[in-house]
Amino acid sequence: MRVLITLAATLSLATGIAFAQEAKPTDDSQAWFASSTALTQKTGEGIYNAVCISCHMPEGKGAKGAGDYPALASNEMLESADYPIYMIVHGRGAMPALGGVLDDEQVAEVVNYIRMHFGNDYKEAPATAEMVAGSR
């Protein structure tokens, strides 16, 4: 639990996300990230720079260290919007669930951003807010 609290504080400082003063615990192992405070950035680039860049790095090349953060650069897993939508909303492993922080449009924006940057050119079937809502 102490590790989660320390990690939450670090993420809060690193990404500028303001957490609610009282988190409501749930059975979710990543409940520390849940917040009633939403992220205010609206563009894919703004959301990436506020949340994703600290793990996936400025060029989307990922990182290895305390955790293994996969590269988004030239990543074939991003070909379909469904995979990054699911990962952003629900999380897995070191990837926190951001569904409680980002609304459907914000998730779609950041998914489209990462699918069209970092050497990716997946412009077919862009993510939509409706797709994100269906994944929730």
pLDDT digits (tens, 9 = 90+) for 95-129: 999 999 999 999 999 999 999 999 999 999 999 99
| Mutual angle of helices 104-115 and 82-90, in 10-degree steps | 130
Q: Enter the tokens of residue 32.
A: 């520390």
Q: Enter the tokens of residue 97.
A: 């669930």
Per-residue pLDDT at 37? 55
pLDDT at 10 over 50: no
pLDDT digits (tens, 9 = 90+) for 11-53: 443 444 433 333 334 444 444 444 445 789 999 999 999 999 9
Q: Check which CATH number belongs to the domain holding 130 and give it.
A: 1.10.760.10
**How many structural domains compose the chain?**
1
Which residues span the domain enclosing 110?
2-135
Q: List all residues 6 or more positions away from 109 whose beta carbon is below 8 Å from its beta carbon.
A: 42, 43, 44, 47
